[in-house]
Amino acid sequence: MGKLLRINTKEKTFGFQDVPKAYAGLGGRALTSKMILDEVPANCHALGKSNKLIFAPGILAGSPAGNSGRLSAGAKSPLTGGIKESNAGGLVSQKLAKLGITALVLEDKPQNDEYSIIVINKDGVKLIPAGDLVGKGNYAVMESLWKTYGKSVGVLSIGQAGEQCLKGASINQADMSGRPGRAHGRGGLGAVMGAKKIKAIVVDDKGAPRLEMKNPDAFKAANKKWVDMLLKHPVTGQGLPALGTAVLVNVINEAGAFPTKNFRTGRFEHAQDISGEKMAELIQKRGGITTEGCHPGCVIKCSNVYHDKNGKYLTSGFEYETIWAFGAHTTIKNLDDIAMLDRLCDDFGLDTIETGVAIGIAMEGGMIPWGDGKAAIKLLSKVGKYAPEGKIIGNGAVFTGDALGVDRIPVCKNQAFPAYDPRSCKGVGVTYATTPMGADHTAGYGVTANILGVGGTIDPQKKTGNIELSQGLQIATAAIDAAGLCLFVAFAVLDNADGLPTIVNMINAQYGLSLTPDDVMTLGKSILNNEKEFNKKAGFTEIDDQLPEMFLESFPPHNTTWDFSTKELSKTLSF
């Protein structure tokens, strides 16, 4: 088994530690959440010295298992005040695993303003002054670090938003082209990294030994079955590779659950202009890439590279939720403007969902006009200039609403809603309300059975079955996040009785274990219980599992409302 690498950011020291018994066998979200519960005082200031920023590869990381390269980042969230796990693709997860690092833990904080970068390779760890990388955006930082440390090193970095400790700040990862298209977006973890004055982390696994595999033949067989399963499912094998996640624009709009103009209606009249079909058409015409993996070992390949009208690179990893947040939510209908807003977020290091929702709130508050893409770009650019307007927008939806006196703010636990209305997609609404993460579609993606017909069919507009749907998905998702698997494998797993057993077979083959699918579900439950325990210690109650008043409004076109009581939702309080 690997080691924990603890770095004291104040003293600029580090140490490797054997994985203690309490953390044995844990990876990804299971490990980050357990460590935060055990080691971070729940009532500490998220930007203070007592918070820890933890990166943990999943249990399957470093192995050839398909789609096993997601890295979990965890901390007390500056945005929600609760526990946070945010995972992303990129190169770091597999490389940390190959270096035998089970978790990288950033502790304490410096008392001065001197930024460092951390370089980790087979020979050890170095903290070196960040020099002229300070003040730079993620594009420049990653370009510089690939130049210095070699193309293909893993990079985690923060842009200007993280340096300013903004609550919307992400930690970005170099994608397979060395660009910051992948992000640990949600919950403001970039601000925690900024508070600890770490500008970037370089992970280089050159010369590291191959990961030990207890039962290579069994692993190979299971992985083959696994990859086949992913490639054969219509969502993971066709829809996502062809159009990326933006395939959902037309689907969710058609379902009447596409929140438009700050959640006033479920259909956007200009949905076609920002659809996945439109995006794919433009990408093909302009010479971009429609189908790219976000990490080595990805077989779904739903990422992309989007060029501008002159055929020049504009952005990558351009996702459905981003297109929604900067598009339907703000009523901006120009896909190039939306792509530029995505690029700015990647460069400054900002969560596109939180920031897009904040831009919509700025429109609601009269700061800029509805639907004005150029005004939104100008406003967002202020983050890179360290200007006061940027400090407002970059701190997210609630902060922007509070700055402007807006009372319609779509958040739960202070985190902005993603691209699915909770009234007309109640399965994901229950997740927004009850996940310990704050409103987060990836924590229990009820869109599956609600709209996509995956893993059964549950009416998205009625209450019946949606609490159970969300609950089951939250448990499964926590386990998937612990394995380090991409969440999208769930599409295949939910429709295939062999899905979960195959994952378990890969884990057993890698570690020489004899886990059962039940053990994996038990792990999922224990992750959620740990997270809920931390949040309870931080002062959360079932009241924090409610949605804001504005969701009592009737929501066209289906005229649905949010109608779950606190008591009904409290069923999901523990597992």
Residue ranges binding a second copy (CB under 8 A)? 41-48, 50, 78, 164-167, 191, 194-195, 387-389, 391-392, 395, 399, 402-407, 409, 537-541, 543-544, 546, 548-550
Nearer to a second copy, 398 or 490 (CB): 398
> Which of 165/240 has CB closer to a second copy?
165
For residue 561, which of 267, 266, 325 has the smallest C-alpha distance? 266
Min. distance of Cβ 202 from a second copy in angstroms? 24
What's the min distance (Å) between Cβ of 470 and a second copy?
Answer: 20
Give me the least distance between CB of 415 and a second copy, in Å please.
Answer: 14
Write out the two tokens for 380: 């967002």
Residue nearer to a second copy on the CB measure, 238 or 541: 541
CB closer to a second copy, 537 vs 558: 537
SS3 of 111, please?
Answer: coil
DSSP string covering 354-420, please? Answer: HHHHHHHHHHHTTSS-TT-HHHHHHHHHTTTTT-HHHHHHTT-HHHHHHHHT-----EETTEE--SS
Is the CB of 206 or the CB of 391 nearer to a second copy? 391
Q: Judged by CB, which is closer to a second copy: 48, or 131?
A: 48
Which is closer to a second copy, CB of 407 or CB of 459?
407
CA distances (Å), origin 426, targets 163, 215, 486:
37, 43, 23
Q: How far is the CB of 186 from a second copy (least distance, A)?
A: 17
* Best CA proximity match to 418, nearest among 405, 427, 429, 403: 429
Per DSSP bridges, beta strands 3-8 and 13-18 are antiparallel
Angle, vertex CA 553, rays to CA 547 and CA 556, nearest 5 = 115
Find the shortest distance in angstroms from Cβ 82 to a second copy.
12
171 by DSSP, 3-state: which? strand
Q: How far is the CB of 301 from a second copy (least distance, A)?
A: 37
Whole-number minimum distance, CB 50 to a second copy, in Å? 6
Q: Which of 181, 234, 172 is nearest to 488 (CA)?
A: 234
Closer residue to a second copy (CB): 539 or 557: 539
CA–CA dist 134, 293 (Å, integer): 30
Please give the structure tokens belonging to residue 442.
Answer: 């990836």
Give the separation between CA 560 and CA 240, rounded to whole angstroms: 29
Take residue 569 and report the two structure tokens written for it.
């939702």
- Those residues with Cβ within 8 angstroms of residue 211's Cβ, 6 or more apart along the chain or in another chain: 62, 63, 97, 98, 510
Residue 228's CB is within 10 A of a number of other CB atoms, namely: 15
- Of the pair 11, 407, the CB lying nearest a second copy is at 407
Neighbours of 154 (CB within 10 A): 25
Spatial separation of the C-alpha atoms in residues 358 and 414, rounded to whole Å: 12
Task: Give the nearest distance from C-beta 388 to a second copy in angstroms.
Answer: 4
Contact 302, 244 (CB under 8 A): yes
Q: CB within 8 A of 300, min separation 6: which ones? A: 67, 230, 236, 237, 240, 241, 293, 486, 488, 489
Smaller CB separation from a second copy, 31 or 198: 198
Query: From the CB of 113, what's the least distance to a second copy, in Å?
Result: 9
Query: 179 or 196: whose CB is closer to a second copy?
Result: 196
**CB within 8 Å of 282: residues ≥ 6 apart:** 288, 306, 307, 335
Give the CB-side neighbour count of residue 108, counting CA atoms within 13 A.
Answer: 12
CB of 168 to a second copy, least distance (A): 11
Q: How far is the CB of 188 from a second copy (least distance, A)?
A: 10
Q: How far is the CB of 539 from a second copy (least distance, A)?
A: 3
Distance of alpha carbon 364 from alpha carbon 370, whole angstroms: 8
Choose between 42 and 428: whose C-beta lies nearer to a second copy.
Answer: 42
Q: Name 104's bridge partners.
A: 5, 55
As measured in angstroms, the least distance from the Cβ of 396 to a second copy is 10
Name the residue type at position 132: D
Q: Is 313 helix (H, G, I), strand (E, B) or coil?
A: strand
Within its chain, how far is the Cα of 217 from the centroid? 33
Task: Tell me the closest approach of the beta carbon of residue 402 to a second copy, in angstroms.
Answer: 6
The residue assigned the tokens 């693709």 is 89
CA-based nearest residue to 96, from 36, 196, 149, 27: 27
User: Rounded to an integer, what distance in angstroms lies between the CA atom of residue 139 and that of residue 356?
Assistant: 20
Nearer to a second copy, 61 or 357 (CB): 357
- Which CB, 395 or 526, lies closer to a second copy? 395
